[in-house]
Amino acid sequence: MEQSPVLVDVQQSVATLTLNRPDNRNSMTPDLLDAFTEAVQRVRKSQGVRCLVLAGSGTTFSSGADFRSQIQRDDGSGRQPNERSFAMYTPFLSVLDIEVPVVGALTGHAVGGGFGLALLCDIRVATRDARYGANFARIGLHPGLGISYLLPRLVGVPRAAELLFTGRLFDGREGVEMGLFTKALPHADVLPEAQRLAAEIAANAPIAVRMMKQSLYRGLACDVRAAAWQEAYAQAATVQTEDAREGIAALLDKRVPQFRNG
């Protein structure tokens, strides 16, 4: 029997949620997104969980949208374009509902929506030689999942502008230098370190830690969902452009895109 697209393992007070479609680079396929929503709900209902580790199987944490499948979610109910864009990210945004700290074990590459998922974690441990970033500009799309909101808050506006406008990718070591990751380690060490860190957090007073998390983000006036909703309008608009069609085709064909719109 095929394993679930998302695995949940609870050991004592630490839960580990693992994206489990390595053959498809843990991309945002409908089955993975639906399983992710269910997994988050399961973690939230689990008694005694004090910290969550979010990981990916294989050599990719998540490659974001599956451009051979879909980049918007349409359930046939007549959703508007921005609603279809937002629906694509709603499962990953459910990470925001987790009251306990979330440690991202970035066990490989995290690009596009996968990078956005990494940003939703409270703490991130990266793979040293993996590639990370928001490559939306290179395929003619506006970012989603709150990336344009979160990234400048994590690395500063000038650095975020450079990363978003160029769409370039960077490795785990550079991510540590810019303050995005706490550590960058060899692939085999990432998950154990994230789980060690989670266990250290879980050993502390759980009520105090949960309240600290609330205070931390309340003090930053952090409303990622509202930002992601606003992004959905811009992303839906860019999805309809010739540049997006060219950018996605070039990505799939592994060639340099030729953008023509002014």
Provide mean pLDDT across the span 211-216: 95
Residue 115, domain member (yes or no): yes
Q: pLDDT (tens digit, 9 = 90+) per residue, 252-261?
A: 888 999 998 7
Residue 133, domain member (yes or no): yes
What is the number of domains present in the chain? 1
Residue 106, domain member (yes or no): yes
Q: pLDDT (tens digit, 9 = 90+) per residue, 101-159?
A: 999 999 999 999 999 999 999 999 999 999 999 999 999 999 999 999 999 999 999 99
Per-residue pLDDT at 177 exceeds 60: yes
Per-residue pLDDT at 1 exceeds 60: no
Q: Show the beta-strand stretches assigned E in the chain.
A: 6-11, 14-19, 51-56, 60-62, 102-106, 109-111, 123-127, 132-133, 183-185
Residue 84, domain member (yes or no): yes
The pLDDT, as a whole number, for residue 162 is 98
Q: In what order do the strands lie in the sheet with 109-111?
A: 60-62, 109-111, 132-133
Residue 29, domain member (yes or no): yes
Provide mean pLDDT across the span 220-245: 91
Does this model's pTM top 0.85? My answer is yes
The pLDDT, as a whole number, for residue 65 is 86
Spatial contact of 48 and 18, defined as CB atoms under 8 Å apart: no
CATH at residue 51: 3.90.226.10
User: What single-letter amino acid sits at 173?
Assistant: R
Q: pLDDT (tens digit, 9 = 90+) per residue, 51-68?
A: 999 999 999 999 998 877
Per-residue pLDDT at 71 exceeds 80: no
Residue 238, domain member (yes or no): no
List all residues 6 or more positions away from 102 whose beta carbon is below 8 Å from its beta carbon: 51, 52, 53, 54, 95, 120, 121, 122, 123
The pLDDT, as a whole number, for residue 76 is 66
Residue 239, domain member (yes or no): no
Residue 38, domain member (yes or no): yes
- In angstroms, what CA-CA distances link 97 with 41, 79, 214? 9, 24, 11
- In angstroms, what CA-CA distances link 132 with 7, 37, 135, 154, 232? 23, 24, 9, 15, 22
Q: Which range marks the domain in which residue 143 is found?
A: 6-188
Whether the CA torsion 244, 89, 6, 55 is positive or negative: it is: positive
